[in-house]
Structure 1
Amino acid sequence: MGSNASVEEKNEASILRNPQQGEASDLYWACRAGNLKTVQQILASTIYIDINRLEPNGSTALHAAAFFGHAEIVRLLLHKYGVMRHRRNRHGLTAYEEAATEEIRQLFHRSSNSRRFCSDTTADAEHLFASTVGEQAEDEDDNDEVPNDWVIGANNEKAIRVNQIRGDNIYNKDLRS
């Protein structure tokens, strides 16, 4: 049977086995040269996969910027464009490991006060819980309707068993198909 490796993975393996010295994209050369304006222009029209591409020479644009000491470009690539920092070059090194200075290595670290998936306010997530939950609680005070079993769950043995039978019938039907 054939390999499960994607075309991209096979291409990268080939590059790593036989890198082509001097061959790279305009993005790579701009990162290597430290030309921030050109890098910004190229990034504005480049898709994510190409920004992270392993160049024919065996490195990425991030490797070039880090190795040649261009901190502003490394910052741009990591923090604005979220490039893949774990990619290894033809020498088996990440851009972090190739970084020319400690300042550049620090750009790869998240600060200790980073709140990446957090917020100090509930306003950021109110839309996730808005409308139906609050409305249902208000409605329940006005009448004696049974709560919505789909959200709250079956509240008696008979309802639980009916749902189990329905589920079994659907499951068995799928098996017969």
Structure 2
Amino acid sequence: MGENLIQNESTSQFYFACRNNDMETVRRLLDEYPLEDLDKMEPNGSTALHAACFYKNIDIVKLLLDRGFTRRVINKYNYTPFDECESEEIRQLFTRPKTSNRFGGDVSYEREKLTWIVIDGNEQNVIHDRTLDTYNGNRLEYKVFHGDKILQQLGNNMPKIDVIRRLFRRAINEKDCTRLIQAYTTDTDFCNQVNNYLITQNEETTNDTSTQTNVMSEFIDTIFFNRQLHEQYQFQGICYRSMKIKSDNDLNIYRVGTKLINRTFISATKDRQFAEKYVSDRHAEKKYAVIISFEIRQFNTALDIEYLSEFPSEKEILIMNKRIFKVVRIKMKNSFDVEIELRESKSTRVNQKDISSGYLGRSH
């Protein structure tokens, strides 16, 4: 059940090599062909990864996942590759590596400071100067999403860049911005590249029209401004991040009453148990465990991307950049050393004067 056992003469050699646990052929074909030629739906209605999972070929499953084969694909039986796994050992291969700090983890204090801008002043008087996207996030529909230029900017030295290339091409061909979300969730360095750009981009407004816009902004604006995407996948409620820290000094940016703006996208989870487990086996030398809850209150602040993600078990909530949060409570709990509660402000306007007068990442 779940896998078509009839060999179709049009089904690829690679598919049968994965099904038959022929590691030598699998490795040879991976070297000879680009990813998108191998990671595809076969004429029998399944993929090579489905076959490897169904037949419990664990070494081939690991190889394909490490290579960047997509987890988010449904065969003719309406199963994902993960659904085809009966072995718990193989199922564990579908989790993100524990070295990832996507949901906090061992993120450094210096990096956490770069994520946030601390603001001062009356919230009702703040002004936000974010430039609107001419295409309202519909760049794929207007055929003005330059994925090739983003890839050039990332450079061929980024590991598994062909994973992002394939998803960009699908996004462009299908005019489907959820493929961009999928790219952001892959086990690659792409999400870090996006957020590094958001950290380093010029926060101050400029009248210099000759300044060339970084092409990465096209990716960000397509997600940030796409109303249809936000209408379909909007999230309002509570989500979580967790991290290990060395001392309570690492929490200096979180003071009750402080207002913060996130420079970057933030990955959080709907599943508190996942957030708690995320740091349970982290480095012992970091003695404090911290959980941060975000109360999302506005329509276009966060996306529920659980079923868009390459890792649906993470139940990821993707928080847009440049949202205002207020630290409303810090408390001690038995299960965690520190719990921090952030509540989204009703205002979405940011005082440029407060930002430019020296409050970038400064602790209060």
**Shorter-chain TM-score: which interval?**
0.5 to 0.7
- Aligned pair in 2 of structure 1 residues 114, 59: CA closer, same or farther (>3 Å)? same
Q: How far apart are the structure 1 equivalents of 2:23 and 2:203?
A: 55
Q: How far apart are the structure 2 equivalents of 1:152 and 1:26?
A: 52
One-letter code of the match for 2:100?
S
Q: How far apart are the structure 2 equivalents of 1:48 and 1:110?
A: 20
One-letter code of the match for 2:72?
H
1:76 CA displacement? 0.4
Residue in 1 that maps onto 2:14: 27
1:21 CA displacement? 4.1
Q: Secondary structure at the match of 1:34?
A: coil
CA contact (8 A) 1:20 1:58 kept: no
CA contact (8 A) 1:68 1:100 kept: no
Q: Secondary structure at the match of 2:44?
A: coil
One-letter code of the match for 1:89?
N
Q: How far apart are the structure 2 equivalents of 1:100 and 1:22?
A: 22
Residue in 1 that maps onto 2:84: 98
One of 72, 77, 83 as aligned partner of 2:59: 72
The within-5 A match list for 1:117-156 is: none
Q: How far apart are the structure 2 equivalents of 1:59 and 1:94?
A: 9
Larger RCO: 1 or 2 (CA < 8 Å, sep 6+): 2
1:115 CA displacement? 3.9
- Aligned pair in 2 of structure 1 residues 152, 86: CA closer, same or farther (>3 Å)? closer
Q: Does 1:109 align with 2:95?
A: yes
- Aligned pair in 2 of structure 1 residues 114, 153: CA closer, same or farther (>3 Å)? closer
Structure 1 moving runs of 4+ over 6 Å: 116-120
1:22 CA displacement? 1.7
One-letter code of the match for 2:85?
A
Q: How far apart are the structure 1 equivalents of 2:36 and 2:203?
A: 43
Q: Which has the larger radius of gyration?
A: 1
C-alpha distance after superposition, 1:75-132 (max 9, x if no partner): 00001x1011111100010000001311111100114443469987x9xxxxxxxxxx
1:152 CA displacement? 8.5
- List alignment gaps of at least 5 residues for structure 1: 1-18, 123-150, 155-159, 168-177
User: Which has the larger strand fraction?
Assistant: 2
| TM-score of the superposed pair, with normalisation by structure 2 | 0.27
Alignment length, in residue pairs? 111
CA contact (8 A) 1:63 1:94 kept: yes
Q: Secondary structure at the match of 1:77?
A: helix
- List alignment gaps of at least 5 residues for structure 2: 111-201, 211-364
Q: How far apart are the structure 2 equivalents of 1:84 and 1:78?
A: 7
| TM-score of the superposed pair, with normalisation by structure 1 | 0.54
- Aligned pair in 2 of structure 1 residues 104, 153: CA closer, same or farther (>3 Å)? closer
One-letter code of the match for 1:91?
Y
Q: How far apart are the structure 1 equivalents of 2:203 and 2:87?
A: 56
Residue in 1 that maps onto 2:46: 59
Q: How far apart are the structure 1 equivalents of 2:59 and 2:23?
A: 7
- Aligned pair in 2 of structure 1 residues 98, 119: CA closer, same or farther (>3 Å)? same
**Cα RMSD for the two superposed structures:** 3.2
- Aligned pair in 2 of structure 1 residues 119, 41: CA closer, same or farther (>3 Å)? farther
Q: How far apart are the structure 1 equivalents of 2:25 and 2:31?
A: 10
One of 34, 42, 47 as aligned partner of 2:34: 47
Q: How far apart are the structure 2 equivalents of 1:26 and 1:116?
A: 36
One of 71, 78, 89 as aligned partner of 1:85: 71
Q: How far apart are the structure 2 equivalents of 1:152 and 1:107?
A: 40
